[in-house]
Structure 1
Amino acid sequence: MTDQEVLDTFFVKEQAATRKFTIGISNPFISSEYRTQMIAELIEVNKEYMDKGLTTELVIESADTDVAGQIQQLQNLMAKGVDAILVNPSDVNGLNATLQEAVSKGIIVISVDQELNVPGVYNVGIDQKEWAKTSAKWLAEKLGGKGNIVLIEGFPGHPANVARMEGVDEVLSQYPDIKVLAKDTGKWDEATGQQVMSNFLAAYPNLDGYWTQDGMAIGALQAVIAANPAKFPVGVGEGRCQFLKLWEEVLKDRPDFETIAVANPPGVSPTGLRIAVNMLLGKQVDKSKLGGANGLSFVIPVPIVITKDNLQQGLDICKDKPDAYLLDGIMTDQEVLDTFFLK
């Protein structure tokens, strides 16, 4: 018998190899522990699919850049023939034409962490507006509905910041006796947030409270500690181990100190990757489970909110984690299927 006859007669034919999918990542902001954790988790979750023979290594375009630079990132990913793009957008509208170009090429496009209203572009993330409203309501209630406060926002124009500030404004509109004395940007940076807060404390020594977000909350609390006013202004915090440990330290000298930390999970991005892989595999999205401005948003629940009542729970999570770790949640592949896809 020939070699081919032997193979045809006695050996099981090897099935044609399943095509592997390539997923691209566009990230325009790297000066952030959130983004560092996000990228690391994307690589880790993608490895699960690589080990199953479903995906290749991620194609990652990640650098501090502006809208034009992120458009170039997206063009690079399209040129490399990716099957899906996860984009953490730098602007509410600036990427729209490029994202629609990707959609027209048959690429699955998912905006992670920040919601866009672009035809054909899916969104995966928490509800940023509701996320901000949670801590803004807490602040307003702790102030008894009155007082003078300041706001420290992230980058103006970034989709998440826009949604968050809309949420804060919506809450504060219900409390006419809470006066916003000033607002400034801390650029989602701890050191900048600390400087902005120091300036506010110097300008308004009798400040009653402040609202901020992300790593700027660590800087803001550090500024308050350094200024050491007789009465600390009431402020909101961050669901990061560094902040929770700082909170614990403050309690040693000020046992009545209170704040709130609403988790902003980097895990929404690897959850988005799981969604993308299942879509590439031909699984059908249950669009009745989607929401958002364009009806294409996979809304991920906030995994945890830390107050004085469960601070120890947060500290326990942080026991084996670095200070930079953000309290997180990544949906499993089965949870993604059960929650968002047709059975």
Structure 2
Amino acid sequence: MTKARNFKKIMLVVSICALFLLGLGMQAFAKLPVVGISTGSSGTSWRTIMINSLEQVGNEYKAAGKIADYKIVNNVVNGDATEQANIIRDFIAQGVDIILVNPNSPTALNGVIKEAQEEGILVVAFDATVTAPDVVNVTLDHYAWHQKNVEWICSTLQKGNLIQIYGLEGHPANIDRMKAASDVLKKYPDIKLIASTSGYWDQTKAKEVASQIIASGQQIDGVITQDGMAYGVLSAFLDAGKLPKVMFGDPGTAFFKEWKRLRDEGAEFKACAQPNPPGIGGTAFRIALQLYNGKKFKPGVLKDNTYFYKVSMFITDENFEEGWELLKDKPDDYLLNEIMSEEEVAALFE
């Protein structure tokens, strides 16, 4: 009897040890990923907030033991796809497990993305899209986003001269937005687009090019622009002692301060603002980790391998106070931002 009891005790100890060793083996198998992030561009307010959002999620995941590490590498030449491809190749050589990329081209990175995938690296694009197979894109529907802005501008103006100051040449998001603007303008024959040029998604550059157009002496009734440039454009008009009747505005503190002042003065000026949350990078980070851990999207979440983040806020003079309440105590370079929570992202998966 005693021998039988001792044998059971020994077997129990052996079983516990085996389970412990198995657990160690499973932990070794479930390798914590290293994440490489290529932002494509930096230096603007929007990009700075985007990078801060990526760092916020990366630090959260490191502290929680969900990733081993992350590294962010910005382009030296903003918007250059060749340099970005070399950054991604460096990530491959370093043996990262996940690559997050804000692509500078929808197609030029497809070759290097394939190289990464052949090494077993998960690649997720954010803010803009790539056409490479088996890459999940996390972005706004930039066509629909800008279509809403330009439709509001044109329907408010009805007739007159518009200028357009757009983002980085060749960038996928800018390409979609330019097409949206072109399609809307076709519906308004009494509105003439008299100038169209790049402001590089930069306030200073946008102010420079707007000042040059204003100095030509042409009548300008409205402005089509994009996030991160409107304050610079409006400043150029104010410096010249002029004012457009209608324009797209930054969803940020600096622009809203001027907008409020013009409203209070009763100026003939109307604007709309729609956030393009810089936190899309942080949202993509969360989605990428779910995919790395083997999770599958629920049916219908993706469209053409893309998750389209939905922006709910659209601000005009009618609901100006809603935006002002969110911005009035923020620094001048602040832009409205949001990152999907871990729970919200988890709800996208089975």
**Please, which of 258, 263, 268 is the counterpart of residue 251 of structure 1?**
263
Give 2:349's aligned residue: 341
- C-alpha contact (below 8 Å) 2:245/2:268 kept by paired residues: no
Distance 1:73 1:170, change over 3 A: same
- The residue that corresponds to 1:212 in the other structure is 225
Taking structure 1 as the reference length, what is the TM-score of the superposition? 0.90
Instruction: Report the AA paired with residue 156 of structure 1.
Output: E
CA–CA separation in structure 2 for the residues paired with 1:84 and 1:337: 18
Q: What amino acid does structure 1 have at the position aligned with 2:145?
A: W
Q: 1:309 aligns to what?
A: 318
1:149 Cα deviation after fit:
0.9
CA spacing shift, 1:337–1:325, aligned 2, 3 Å: same
Q: What are the equivalent positions in structure 2 for 1:4-153 lying under 5 Å apart?
A: 13=20, 15-16=23-24, 17=27, 18-65=30-77, 66-144=80-158, 146-153=159-166
Whether 1:228 and 2:237 are equivalent positions in the alignment is: no
> Which of 318, 335, 338 matches 1:326?
335
**Counterpart contact for 2:277–2:336, Cα < 8 Å:** yes
Question: Which residue does the alignment assign to 2:300?
Answer: 288
Deviation for aligned residue 1:199: 1.7
Deviation at 1:331, TM superposition (A): 0.9
Q: How does 1:168-179 map to 2 (within 5 A)?
A: 168-179=181-192
CA distances 1:222-271 after superposition (whole Å, capped 9, x unpaired): 11111223x63321111122211221122233355310111010111111
Aligned partners of 2:40 and 2:102 also within 8 Å? yes
Aligned amino acid, residue 120 of structure 1: D
Q: Secondary structure at the match of 2:271?
A: coil
Larger radius of gyration: 2
3-state SS of paired residue (1:19): coil
Correspondence for 1:269 among 281, 294, 319 = 281
Runs of 4+ in 1 over 6 A off after TM superposition: 9-12
Give distance in 2, aligned partners of 1:302 and 1:103.
31
Shift of 1:68: 1.9
CA distance in 1: counterparts of 2:100 and 2:330, whole angstroms: 26
Aligned counterpart, 1:278? 290
* C-alpha distance in structure 1 between counterparts of 2:104 and 2:273, whole Å: 24
Write the distance in 2 (CA, Å) between the matches of 1:41 and 1:337. Answer: 18
Tell me, what secondary structure is at the counterpart of 2:164?
strand
1:276-305 deviation digits (Å, cap 9, x = unpaired): 1111111112352111xxx11011011422
Rounded to whole Å, the distance in 1 between the matches of 2:34 and 2:312 is: 29
Question: Contact conserved, 1:103 with 1:121, CA < 8 A, in 2?
Answer: no
The CA deviation at 1:71 is 1.0
CA–CA separation in structure 2 for the residues paired with 1:255 and 1:67: 43
Q: Distance in 1 between matches of 2:50 and 2:42?
A: 10
Q: Which moved more, 1:320-329 or 1:124-133?
A: 320-329
Q: Once superposed, what is the RMSD of the aligned Cα atoms?
A: 2.1
- Do the aligned partners of 2:223 and 2:244 also contact (CA within 8 Å) in 1? no
Which amino acid in the other structure matches residue 269 of structure 1?
G
Residue 220 of structure 2 aligns to a residue in which SS? coil
C-alpha distance in 1, partners of 2:195/2:269? 24
Q: Is the 8 A contact 1:67 1:95 kept in 2?
A: yes
Closer/same/farther in 2, CA of residues 43 and 208 from structure 1, 3 Å limit: same
Q: 2:83 corresponds to which letter in structure 1?
A: G
Q: How many residues align?
A: 331
Which secondary structure state, in structure 2, belongs to the residue aligned with residue 45 of structure 1?
A: helix
Give, in angstroms, the shift of residue 167 of structure 1: 0.7
Query: Aligned runs of 1:147-166 on 2, under 5 Å?
Result: 147-166=160-179
In 2, are the aligned partners of 1:303 and 1:329 still within 8 Å (CA)?
no
CA deviation profile, 1:103-155 (whole Å, cap 9, x unmatched): 222211111101222211111011111111111001001112x2111111111
Task: Name the CA distance, whole Å, in 2 between partners of 1:266 and 1:23.
Answer: 19
The 3-state SS of whatever aligns with 2:165 is strand
SS at match of 2:300: helix
| Partners of 1:198 and 1:233 in 2: CA distance | 17
Residue 297 of structure 1 corresponds to: 306
SS at match of 1:305: coil
Structure 1 stretches lacking a partner, 5+ long:
none
**Quick one: distance in 2 between partners of 1:153 and 1:319?**
27
CA distance in 2, matches of 1:168, 1:195: 22
Residues 53-74 of structure 1: CA deviation (Å, up to 9, x unaligned): 1102212111332222111110
